[in-house]
Structure 1
Amino acid sequence: MKLLHLSDIHLTAPGSTIGGRDPRANFERALAHALKDHHDAELMVITGDLSDWGDAADYHWLKQRLDEYPLPVRLCIGNHDRRAAFLSVFPDLSDDNGFVQGVHDTAAGRCLFLDTAHPETHAGRYCDDRLGWLDARLAEHDGPFLLFMHHNPMPVHLAPLDQIRLLDDAPFRRLVGRNRSKIRHVFFGHCHLPLAGSVAGVPVSSLRGTNHASYPLFSETRLLSASDLPQSYGVVFFGEDYVTVHMVEYGYDGPIRIEGSPDYQAWDRETMVR
């Protein structure tokens, strides 16, 4: 089974840019690239920051675009999104408490989409109501589960990013830990970085977004760091006893060398042409 993971698309008004890049154009490029190579994916999940300013117009455009897309797509919201504006366009994605949370079954497991957004802050929260929803969903099914969320549920040891992580991450990790035998993987966004690790014994992964990229500048302790690294999306393969996660840098526009090409034939101990 194959799944596509996109994050941090940061849609803006037509023609507006972030870091010199057009989020709508780059999102369209990601959709086209993913469909060309992965039209057989069972599901696409976008783990928030869907809009850069939480404008309803961005959500209307996104809904229209996804309604036209031939693959099923599920959404999480992030710190740049506005829950009320989002739900005015996607009302069916609300849980009983008004959070953007839901369930979708796939061949690889039951997907749970979590709402870690908190008003007026870039940091994430997962309150008692949301924890209760997750606890109930994990209790009603034998699994396996795949969890999707926006904020990083563990420290990444980059101080500016950890200041805006999921701040009540410890209770979240305790709940995950109690159910670790049921949860195959946790996917998140927010950091705009390729990341891998584990939470309470459960593997996690993240990736750069479809527009602007961060950079792991460990010497900077206060301010977020940006770079011109390529835009990306994720491709995830599931087998019976494994999960393989790729970050596809579709924004890269340099050469790609195929083994057996003239460039490769010259790579030998005699010439060492590189």
Structure 2
Amino acid sequence: MKLLQFTDIHLTTPGDTISGRDPLANLNKALDHAMQSHSDAEALFITGDLSDWGEAPDYALLKERIGSIPLPVELLIGNHDDRSTFLRCFPELEGEGGFVHRTVPLSLGHAVLLDTWGPNTHAGHFCAKRADWLSCQLATLPGPVWIFMHHNPVPIEVAPMDEIMLLDADLFAETIAPHKAKIRHIFHGHCHLPLTGSLLGVPFSAPRGTNHAGWADFSATRFLSSSDLPESYAVIFATETTTMTHMVEFGYAGEIKGEGTPDYADWNKLTMVR
């Protein structure tokens, strides 16, 4: 099974930039790159911050753009989004309780898409209603289960970012704990950093994002940090027994060099590029 994950696309009024980068141009570049290299993927998941200011024209633009993609595109919302505005453009994505959450069947198990949006905050939320819904899905779905969400459920040890992580992380952990054996992986975004780790033994990962990039400044106390690192998305490969995620830096503009073959007999000082 192959899946794609985009995150933090941050669409703005066409022509407006964020950190000198054009979100729409970068989304188009990411989609073109992904469709050229990974059109055999089962689905593309975009894990939130679809719009930079939660504005209706951004969602209309996104709806038009993904309409031409030849594979299912599954949308989640993040802290920069506005749920009610989003649902006016995508009413079919309203789930139980008015949340933007649902399950998606895959060739290998199911994806569970979780709404961690909360009003008037950049932090993530996971309330009792969402916990009840998630618990029900995890109890009834056959494994494996792949969880997609926007906010990171574990601190990344960068103080300003940890102020806006999933605030109800303990409740989230309690909810998934009885079902952790069937949860294969958690995919999130939000941090604009490539991250890997685990929660209760369940692995999680995040790519950098399709537009502006973060920087892990572990000495920061108040301000988030950015960088000029390349834009990226994730490619996910899964079998019955394995999961592999790649962060593809489609924004890299440098040279790709041929170093040599993997054949041990060919590795010598004359032929290897160093």
Q: State the TM-score, normalizing by the size of structure 1.
A: 0.95
**CA offset digits 1:58-87 (Å, max 9, x no partner):** 001111111111111101100000000000
Shift of 1:107: 1.2
The 1:251–1:175 alpha-carbon spacing in structure 2 relative to 1, beyond 3 Å, is: same
1:180-217: per-residue Cα shift (whole Å, max 9, x none)?
01100000000000000111111100010100000011
- Mapping for residues 22-61 of structure 1, pairs under 5 Å: 22-61=22-61
Q: Which stretches of structure 1, 4 residues or longer, exceed 2 Å deviation after superposition?
A: 267-274
Could you tell me which residue of structure 2 aligns to residue 264 of structure 1? Answer: none
Distance 1:151 1:103 in 2: 18
Q: Kindly tell me: are residues 182 and 273 of structure 1, through their superposed partners in 2, closer, same or farther at Cα, counting changes over 3 Å?
A: closer
Q: 1:1-274 to 2 correspondence within 5 Å?
A: 1-260=1-260, 274=274
What is the alpha-carbon distance in structure 2 between the residues aligned to residue 16 and residue 38 of structure 1?
Answer: 29
- Please tell me the residue identity of whatever aligns with 1:234: A
Change (3 A) 1:271 1:203: closer
Deviations 1:75-131 (CA, angstroms, capped at 9, x unpaired): 110000000000001111111210100111101220010000100000000011111
| AA matched with 2:71 | L
Deviation larger for 246-255 or 218-227: 218-227
Task: Give 3-state SS (helix, strand or coil) of 2:137's partner.
Answer: helix
Structure 2 Cα separation of the partners of residues 195 and 48 of structure 1: 16
Contact 1:104 / 1:112 at 8 angstroms: preserved in 2? yes
Q: Which runs of 5+ in 1 are unaligned?
A: 262-266
SS at 2:44 equivalent: strand
Moved more, 28-37 or 107-116: 107-116
1:272–1:32 CA distance, 2 compared to 1 (3 A):
closer
Code of the residue aligned with 1:202 in structure 2: it is V
Output the CA distance in 1 between the equivalents of 2:214 and 2:164: 14
Measured on the aligned residues, the alpha-carbon RMSD in Å equals 1.6
Letter in 1 for 2:88: S
The SS at the match of 2:121 is: coil
Question: CA contact under 8 A between 1:104 and 1:110: conserved in structure 2?
Answer: yes
Quote the offset at 1:269 in angstroms.
Answer: 5.0
Task: Say if 1:176 and 1:199, in contact at 8 Å, map to a contact too.
Answer: no
Say if 1:46 and 1:76, in contact at 8 Å, map to a contact too: yes
The aligned amino acid for 2:8 is D
Instruction: Quote the offset at 1:271 in angstroms.
Output: 11
Q: Percent identity, aligned pairs only?
A: 55
TM-score (norm 2): 0.95
Q: CA 1:271 to 1:233, structure 2 compared with 1: closer, same or farther past 3 Å? A: closer
Give the whole-Å Cα distance in 2 for the aligned partners of 1:164 and 1:29: 29
- SS of the residue 2:119 aligns to: coil
